[in-house]
Copies of this chain bind each other. A is one copy, B any other.
Amino acid sequence: MNKVYHNAAAAIADISDNAIIMLGGFGLCGIPENCIAALVKKGVKHLTCISNNAGVDGFGIGLMLEQKQVKKMISSYVGENAEFERQLLSGELEVELIPQGTLATRCMAAGYGMPAIFTPAGIGTEVADGKEMRVFNGKEYLMELAFDADFAIVKAWKGDTDGNLVYKETARNFNPLMAMAGKITIAEVEELVPAGELDPDHIHTPGIYVHRIFKGEHYEKRIEQRTVRKKI
């Protein structure tokens, strides 16, 4: 059993046109920078991307948008991206916006073998259009289906050769959920250690969910909103 890949290009080599892929991260935090760069280099097209956000101009999924590799985005929030807006308004890009908790839970449902979940998010709004509604204990819920993605691409802080993953701070976000949800899950990590080095009580994503892992290079970790206070 060898899950360790040499680099991003090798790990994503079989992602082809029209694939449905999940990409972890919230904003630019905890995104799989190396895999995104490799997908841009490979030039794979007509992708359906499930990711909470669509990056910014010149970074994250924004890089794939610039190369017109994305056919459809499934996200909860897509602000801060002029190229995205241009493609959306011109009809080049299809967008499905869904509530953030629904997005997260539809990933989890896939990883937990649950075909559908119920959430009140979107009741009474256009998000509910065409969806099954159901009342439990007097409250209305929408039935939302588990995602079905070909690949999940996630970024962790540390990982081991068995595919176990540990995330850092809020870079966790959607990563463990998507890691569970992909038919093939590819993880890039800042630090790759031999199996046995991570504390089994501290592992966020058990290796059973991870098919490929590699150590990423040169993480830029761009900050979207640098907010600070001054030392007094």
Contact = CB atoms under 8 A, between A and B. Distances in A.
B118 A200 contact: no
A117 B146 CA distance: 12
Contact of A201 (B118, B136, B168): B168
Contact of A136 (B116, B119, B141, B200): B116
Contacts of A168: 201
Contacts of A112: 105
A10 interface: no
A172 B206 CA distance: 15
Interface size bucket, A side? 20 to 34
Nearest to A145: B136
Contacts of A120: 113
A169 interface: yes
Interface of A: 105, 112-120, 136-137, 139, 141, 145, 166-169, 172, 200-202
Given A115-B118, A169-B201, 15 more contacts: A105-B112, A113-B120, A114-B117, A114-B118, A114-B119, A115-B136, A115-B137, A115-B139, A115-B141, A116-B118, A117-B117, A136-B145, A167-B201, A172-B201, A202-B202
